Structure 1
Amino acid sequence: MSVLLRRSCRWCHLSRTEVVGLSQVDAPGRRCCSSVQVQGEVRVRFAPSPTGFLHLGGLRTALYNYIFAKKYAGAFILRLEDTDQSRLVLGAAESIEDMLEWAGVPPDESPRRGGPLGPYLQSHRLDLYSQTAQQLVRSGHAYYCFCSPQRLELLRKEALRSGQTPRYDNRCRHLRADQVQEKLDQGTSHVIRFRLEAGVESFQDLVFGWNRHEVAQVEGDPVVMKADGFPTYHLANIVDDHHMKISHVLRGSEWLISTSKHLLMYRALGWKPPTFGHLPLLMNKDGSKLSKRQGDIFIQSFQRDGVLPEALLDITTNCGSGFNTNQMGRRIDELISQFNPSKITTHSALLDLENLPEFNRIHLQQRIEDEDQCVLLIKDLQRQVREAHRAEIQEEEVLHEDYIRRVLHLRKGHITSLKELVSPNYSYLWVRPSFTSQQVAALTAEAPHIALLMLKLIEERGQQLTLDQLSTDLKRLSKQTKATKYREVMKLLRLALSGLQQGPSVAEMMVSLGPAEISHRFQKLLLLSETS
């Protein structure tokens, strides 16, 4: 398939030759208005490290890759970069894939699902990295480095002491072949470093435009193979992207400055690089960086708190870019259809999680109104009610599907999550309330009369309980009392129905509970008020 991405440019008065020569460091934000032609099959990847659990920033990167793949009928690959064995977190690898599936952005190929170009765990591809590193050594693009950790630490401290950025001094690149062989024969611990050379070519990033970073001027030669036989990110990611036939690399903008280094490796290996697009960072609303130490940014935390996955996807795209317009309430199919890569901007996306309840309210309402989704909500709410009120439920009818469906439809648009419905404010839906004769007497001496009026009203209405009719009925009923004002009548009815002083309207409570349960509660009120 062929995809054409067009980007306008306020610098288009420059010739193409002039634009290609620009350095992003010298001219940040300059973009060429030329089009980027993408040929062949679209394959993108999300490649997190299982050194921690999936958080919002990671989900956003995965989401943009997923949307891009589905927009252009391509494949979305999950690859776990687990080469830093010392920092792996138990269960993180499985959890990352679990959370992607929960969020509605499942990979087409992954460690769990498999695929034609696996394995999808880097620790299972060590031979491939070793072969590639040796190929670079043989071609003279990499070399063995025998510098001890102690020497490297001294270099770092000296650089900091003199106010410079720490960098390797490339000492071992100048060893003679016989010196290298002698150390190898002695079994001296070593790493393999890639030779950074001047003359970096510019590349056109899908987001940041033309870029070039002369990495050899500011960095020492990077390690590509560690002493333990595991590759570093710089080698492993280009080897995997090549062999997995990745067409586009969409990753965080923090990797933008490393791309020129990666392109040097592609050139040294004689491989065609993918097209790069670096996504702007997702940040807090005050502009501060999202931190993994913020416990509430992990996807498992949102799942536990009753946040709907589509609400998370909606808020992370709504605060960012990549769409012609932003609007609340978009589901994944709408995000895919409205996605426009040329609209991705370079400025950071500011995330205001205080708006998340509103996003969740909108998406919960959409689920309630969809019959298939509503059935799933009913099952989930049944489970939550059992867990929250197992010992208190007097009537199993409160767990019936029809009853819960009625509750959901009455409260849609008012609640932000299902968890609200099992909170104390809504316990009256599942458990009969407790109240005392003293509480009744404090409101009015006409409680027995009001209870009888309510029982008569329910008998007359039968099953035909509607909000509008009940609102009218309750106003008329209050006029049949002698000394009790409408406000006190409503307080008494609310007490009998819920045991609470505030909450949904009395009419809505009655419609939720139904005639039989209402009668039971007002019979209790009558009995209690008559014996007080």
Structure 2
Amino acid sequence: MFVCFMRRTRWLRRVASRSACTRELEPRVRFAPSPTGFLHLGGLRTALYNYLFAKQRGGTFILRLEDTDQTRLVPAAADAIEDMLEWAGIPPDESRRRGGACGPYVQSERLQLYAQATSSLLQSGHAYYCFCTNQRLELLKKEAQRSGHVPRYDNRCRQLHPEQVQEKLSRGVARTVRFKLSAGTEPFKDLIFGWNRHDVASVEGDPVILKSDGFPTYHLASVVDDHHMRISHVLRGCEWLISTCKHLQLYRALRWTPPSYAHLPLLLNRDGNKLSKRQGDIFIQQFREHGTLPEALLDMITHAGSGFNSNRIGRRLDELIDEFNISKITTHSALLDLDKLPDFNRVHLQHRIDDEDQCVLMADELRRLVLHTHGSQMSDCDVLHPQYMQRILQLRKGHITSVQELLDPMYSYLWLRPHVTRQQLQEVTSEAANIIAAVIQLVRGHGSLVCTEHLNSELKLITNKLKNTKYNIMMRVLRLTLSGLQKGPSVAEMIVCLGEQEVCVRLQAALEH
């Protein structure tokens, strides 16, 4: 037993050294989701860390779809996953959509490879046919639960004689293929969790590697695919840490060199609970529809965890690539506070607005949203001019958390001219006409309207000159005239955003109706 252990240890160290020497220069990593659902925050983080690791080292990022569980596939999920990676700015270099030298990139199209590997394991004696029915396996499970033990397969079919196996095969008895787990532990060095060893054979039965329908289980499929796709490093969730010992046994049985492993800590809610897919608010499509910027989402999920030389709000993708450091990833769970997402989005929105080319794109997006929301009510098409859109974005940056926020009713004055009559204003105060006339004179002689503080001072001076008018009454008149609203942004803010010409048009129109 000790000799076998030492041989396994030497083998693992030898292949690890060989892997580091031959693969480190151009690493190949993969993100391998199952299209049984849509991309969520946890999956995005795993994909991002793989992407950062590859791009920092001039390597290749692969998207592989693990669809071996055909009963749980969700229509359109496969395309949606790749769509969201592209939207997030971390597209794969190789995938079903993009192609590549190591395809196909969908497991259901690689069944021949799994059959070949299974045949090799059967011939070498590392695997065997299992003819146990679902009913028997269910009885084993119930019996273990009754006795307070963890359910496990009892390896019964491992003891069948070759004649018994052939007889059942000739009769076409339904079967699976199981892998023979070796006793003892196979230590391996994880890039995050350090040296690990798990004697899986002492707590688990032999796992199924090929199901009765000819599809592999995750254990066989991931090993076969990683080998044939020349994956150098596997960055995946820490829930697979214990299973890695099984995978290393498979590599050894197939005489293949395993990749290096790095198991990422869990991504949890700030209260320490798991992110719930049932809530629906952790799926990437939802964030996109609500106006979240992809770079804000990437910044937030990396800010919540570890693995970077700094931890600050506002990091863009190129900065994340530069600062990524896998040796700095800690083993404790990353706590995600979604309430802080608006703060991240505000910062990254400001970055986009400050960038001339990005601002043009944002203005075009804002124009489409305004047309969709207010198009049927608009009487003044000048507000659709790109320069006006860009001006509004510049003036509101740092105040709004998303472009969609500018469609809120409190900002409707930016796109729609209110219909306010002189009579409505008179109901507020008999001094309405004098107030409007004084403000028109102020605005026309003010020049560039960019400073709300100075405007507020000037408006207070007007109140002092109009002896029968209180400041709050004047604000009500002006807010109603400019926006048609009783509550909303400050009057000075509205004047600055609308500009001299539009302010005068609205004030004059109220006097004439």
Q: Normalising to structure 1: TM-score of the pair?
A: 0.90
Residue equivalent to 1:77: 62
For 2:250 and 2:153, the matched residues in 1 are separated by: 18
Does residue 473 of the first structure (1) align with residue 458 of the second (2)?
yes
Q: What amino acid maps onto 1:504 in structure 2?
A: P
Does residue 387 of the first structure (1) align with residue 372 of the second (2)?
yes
For 1:408 and 1:46, the matched residues in 2 are separated by: 37
Residue equivalent to 2:36: 51
Q: Give a deviation string over 1:496-520, Cα, whole Å, max 9, x none.
A: 1112233333222112112222122
For 1:286 and 1:440, the matched residues in 2 are separated by: 52
SS in 2 for 1:296: coil
Does residue 506 of the first structure (1) align with residue 491 of the second (2)?
yes
For 1:171 and 1:329, the matched residues in 2 are separated by: 58
Q: Give a deviation string over 1:234-280, Cα, whole Å, max 9, x none.
A: 00000000010000000000000100000000000000100000000
Residue equivalent to 2:470: 485
Q: Give a deviation string over 1:346-386, Cα, whole Å, max 9, x none.
A: 00000000000111001001110011111110111011001
Q: What amino acid maps onto 1:478 in structure 2?
A: T
The equivalent position to 1:261 in structure 2, one of 246, 253, 258, is 246
Deviates further, 471-480 or 175-184: 471-480
For 1:459 and 1:325, the matched residues in 2 are separated by: 50
Residue equivalent to 1:3: none
Asked if the contact 2:422/2:511 (under 8 Å) is kept, the reply is no
1:469 positional shift: 4.8
The equivalent position to 1:153 in structure 2, one of 131, 138, 153, is 138
Does residue 233 of the first structure (1) align with residue 191 of the second (2)?
no
Residue equivalent to 1:352: 337
Matched ranges for 1:424-463 at <5 A: 424-435=409-420, 439-461=424-446
Structure 1 residues 449 and 39 mapped into 2: Cα distance closer, same or farther (>3 Å)? closer
Matched ranges for 1:86-165 at <5 A: 86-165=71-150
Matched ranges for 1:28-427 at <5 A: 39-427=24-412
Q: What amino acid maps onto 1:90 in structure 2?
A: P
Q: What amino acid maps onto 1:424 in structure 2?
A: P
Asked if the contact 1:111/1:120 (under 8 Å) is kept, the reply is yes
Q: What amino acid maps onto 1:404 in structure 2?
A: M
Structure 1 residues 404 and 168 mapped into 2: Cα distance closer, same or farther (>3 Å)? same
For 1:79 and 1:89, the matched residues in 2 are separated by: 16
Q: State the number of aligned residues.
A: 495
SS in 2 for 1:198: coil
Unaligned runs of 5+ in 2: 1-5, 11-19
Unaligned runs of 5+ in 1: 1-16, 22-35
Asked if the contact 2:31/2:62 (under 8 Å) is kept, the reply is yes
Q: Tell me how large the CA RMSD over aligned residues is.
A: 1.6
Q: What amino acid maps onto 1:65 in structure 2?
A: N
For 2:267 and 2:324, the matched residues in 1 are separated by: 18
For 1:437 and 1:161, the matched residues in 2 are separated by: 83
Asked if the contact 2:295/2:317 (under 8 Å) is kept, the reply is yes
Deviates further, 509-518 or 373-382: 509-518
For 1:341 and 1:80, the matched residues in 2 are separated by: 25
1:435 positional shift: 4.2
1:140 positional shift: 0.3
Matched ranges for 1:506-525 at <5 A: 506-525=491-510
SS in 2 for 1:192: strand
